[in-house]
Amino acid sequence: MKKTSRELLQNTTQLDIECEILLKRFSLSLKATAKGRWPILEERLQQTLPQLLPLYLNLYGERYDCYYHLEQLLKLLARALVQRPDYLLAEDEAPQQWHKSQTALGSACYVDLFAGDFNGLAQRIPYLKQTGINYLHLMPLFKAPEPNSDGGYAVSDYRKTMPHLGSMAQLSELMQKLHAEGIRPVLDFVFNHTSDEHRWAVKAKAGEQQFQDYYFFFDEQERDQYAPWLREIFPEIRRGSFTFEPAVGRWVWTTFNSFQWDLNYANPEVFNAMAEEMLFLANQGAAVLRLDALAFVWKEAGSNCENLSKAHTLIQAFNAVASIAAPALQFKSEAIVHPDEVVKYISPAECQLSYNPLLMALLWNSLATRKTRLLTESLQRRFAIDPYCSWVNYIRCHDDIGWTFDDNVAWQLGINPDHHRQFLNQFYTGQFAGSFASGVPFQQNPVTGDCRVAGMLASLTGVEQAVAANDQPKLAHALARIYLLNSVILSIGGLPLLYMGDELGLLNDYRYTQDEAKKDDSRWVNRVKVSEQQLAQATDASSLSGKIYAQLQQLIAVRSRLVALGSGSTEILQSGNQHLFAYRRQLDQQSVLCVVNFSEAPQPFTSLPASSWQDELTATRYQAPTITLQPYQVLWLTPAS
């Protein structure tokens, strides 16, 4: 039932009163903990406790010891604030809308593959700056089981790094250096699970009830209240979502690999403990935390345990915690789920940034089909988000490509979504006649027939085939596809994220099949080492890498002088031609009309509102009513006077 405004007012007042009482009750001990930073803490608590409290009560209010845990939480916030370095404290005061700039540009890399270790990475800062990078996601670097840790996504200790990369102190130093160079460091917050070697897991195995309660241990009957509704994430490696743990004699919840144990957030001790780890990472210098696998963090019997409403409450509670102890910290959502669910994680109070898997998957779809209807229709429904927040637009990442799109939109266009996904898998694994792509299948599910695709950008766009066949026209098309994809993520609105190695057109690395620890995970085909030599080719225009890099640099340079491509609004347009994709970016008086031809044939574009246009990419003038786009051509049009 809807509340009347009078009731709401009463509730708000009640909430304020309750927060005031709580603050009074805890203030002595908080003051002692926060020391010289108590005035800051007090002010932030006054501001944010009214947000945090209802969230915490929603999650844990039914527990008799809820307020005890709340007090522990506030104390750890005070401790974290005391430990926050001065340079980050200063950032906490600055507005955090840097991701809206037309020069904001991200990259993601594995430290060892890109630079060997933390010292090596510091030496590559000039390369990052030369490329225009000002946001750098350092992929998981935490202490993890060996040899297989799911690419680092099984964390054994959030406060220790893998020894071959260097120490946590060195990482901290590196992150401070990155800040000083204008590059925001991004770390993973792998909070859905720990590895089975984390000290909590070790204690759970040793029989300590307190730590068994950090995870989900079930007998068969309990397990079966959940199991039938769950999606299998890695079906080739292990069926189901539970692993029998002999030391405990029960089943433990493992959504991903059997050595990744899901954390039980119904336990407030887990929330507090992870909040402390989160703030530790923020205080080491992370400007953004990538919330790994966030769709899975809350479980309820009889549901598919993805995207539950309390998952949102939980993330909002973490967000409120961060606003008190580390306000400059931003969250990036890694929700690779249905588009209707992806957008629900995006709001100033939840995740300010989010991967855009819909755009990613449908760009690949349009390249395969040479048609843009699914892309256009889907984005018209699902591109708009809160203006404070930003999409993180990417083409490739360290993971597979899953064919995420709304089945209903597909049906409306007369596309059978299941058949279409099969086609896409065949196309990108090179099994479809005439396909330009060299990708590999990932996690074929024998029951559902489901499958995803792995591969580097250059291999998936046709460079690998063209180079092998020494076919120049094919190579030209492949390069045009890379240019086209880059142009879209750089102009459609949001923070573009390059996947390290793709800017140089590096190809698939098939050697993972010879490595015992990697051979069952084909995503390693697109986790390639970047050598010194390859980096040097960036500026060698005669090399293939140099050409790909130069094309990208040209796009970045043009983008950086068009403010509308930063904080402007985005309108996805009906292009009037099923091979063309068009959108308009608008900021005050500046308007940029972007048009992309996804086919190998010339295509007319006739939906032009003004009569005279200038393409910012080539400084070419065009006259309405019709512009013909050449194969794979991209236009960034501004009205010419």
Residues in contact with ligand GLC by CB under 6 A are 150-151, 153, 190, 233, 256, 292-293, 334, 336, 399-400, 402
For the bound state, the minimum distance from the C-beta of residue 425 to ligand GLC, rounded and expressed in Å, comes to: 14
Question: Could you say which of 334, 400, 502, 521 is catalytic?
Answer: 334
Distance CA 296, CA 305 (A): 6
For the bound state, the minimum distance from the C-beta of residue 443 to ligand GLC, rounded and expressed in Å, comes to: 7
Strand partners, 594: 583, 636
584: closest CA among 574, 597, 575, 593? Answer: 593
Q: Evaluate whether 325 touches 77 at the Cβ level (below 8 Å).
A: yes
Q: Give the helix, strand, coil percentages of the chain, each rounded to 5.
A: 45, 15, 35
Q: Evaluate whether 123 touches 103 at the Cβ level (below 8 Å).
A: no
Q: Evaluate whether 460 touches 428 at the Cβ level (below 8 Å).
A: yes
Q: Burial letters for 566-589: b for 16+ Cβ neighbours within 10 Å, e otherwise?
A: bbbebbbbebebebbbbbbbebee
Residue whose CB is less far from ligand GLC, 76 or 336: 336
Instruction: Tell me which residue has tokens 């959108």.
Output: 583
Residue with nearest beta carbon to ligand GLC: 153
For the bound state, the minimum distance from the C-beta of residue 402 to ligand GLC, rounded and expressed in Å, comes to: 5
Question: Could you say which of 245, 277, 292, 521 is catalytic?
Answer: 292
Alpha-carbon distances of 392 from 219, 335, 340, 353, rounded to whole Å: 41, 12, 17, 6
For 224, the 3-state DSSP assignment is coil
For the bound state, the minimum distance from the C-beta of residue 447 to ligand GLC, rounded and expressed in Å, comes to: 16
Residue whose CB is less far from ligand GLC, 293 or 321: 293
Residue whose CB is less far from ligand GLC, 7 or 515: 515
Residue whose CB is less far from ligand GLC, 190 or 287: 190
Distance CA 322, CA 364 (A): 36
Instruction: Tell me which residue has tokens 């809160």.
Output: 386
Residue whose CB is less far from ligand GLC, 372 or 522: 522
Q: Burial letters for 271-281: b for 16+ Cβ neighbours within 10 Å, e otherwise?
A: bbbbbbbbbeb
Distance CA 344, CA 322 (A): 20
Residue whose CB is less far from ligand GLC, 402 or 439: 402
Distance CA 458, CA 486 (A): 12
Distance CA 584, CA 378 (A): 16
Residue whose CB is less far from ligand GLC, 91 or 521: 521
Distance CA 367, CA 594 (A): 17
Distance CA 302, CA 218 (A): 15
**For residue 189, what are its two tokens?**
């917050």
Residue 83 half-sphere exposure toward CB, CA atoms < 13 A: 15
Distance CA 502, CA 573 (A): 29
309: closest CA among 335, 272, 344? Answer: 344
Helical packing angle, 268-284 and 66-83, nearest 10°: 10
For the bound state, the minimum distance from the C-beta of residue 312 to ligand GLC, rounded and expressed in Å, comes to: 16
For the bound state, the minimum distance from the C-beta of residue 461 to ligand GLC, rounded and expressed in Å, comes to: 21
Q: Are strands 250-253 and 217-218 parallel, antiparallel or unpaired?
A: antiparallel
89: closest CA among 41, 145, 148? Answer: 41
Residue whose CB is less far from ligand GLC, 195 or 575: 195
For the bound state, the minimum distance from the C-beta of residue 294 to ligand GLC, rounded and expressed in Å, comes to: 8
For the bound state, the minimum distance from the C-beta of residue 542 to ligand GLC, rounded and expressed in Å, comes to: 36
Residue whose CB is less far from ligand GLC, 193 or 584: 193
How many of the other CB atoms lie within 10 Å of CB of 490?
23
For 89, the 3-state DSSP assignment is helix
For the bound state, the minimum distance from the C-beta of residue 188 to ligand GLC, rounded and expressed in Å, comes to: 8
Angle at 119 between CA 118 and CA 125, to 5 degrees: 90
For the bound state, the minimum distance from the C-beta of residue 212 to ligand GLC, rounded and expressed in Å, comes to: 22
Residue whose CB is less far from ligand GLC, 293 or 490: 293
Catalytic status, residue 334: yes
- The residues assigned a catalytic role are 292, 334
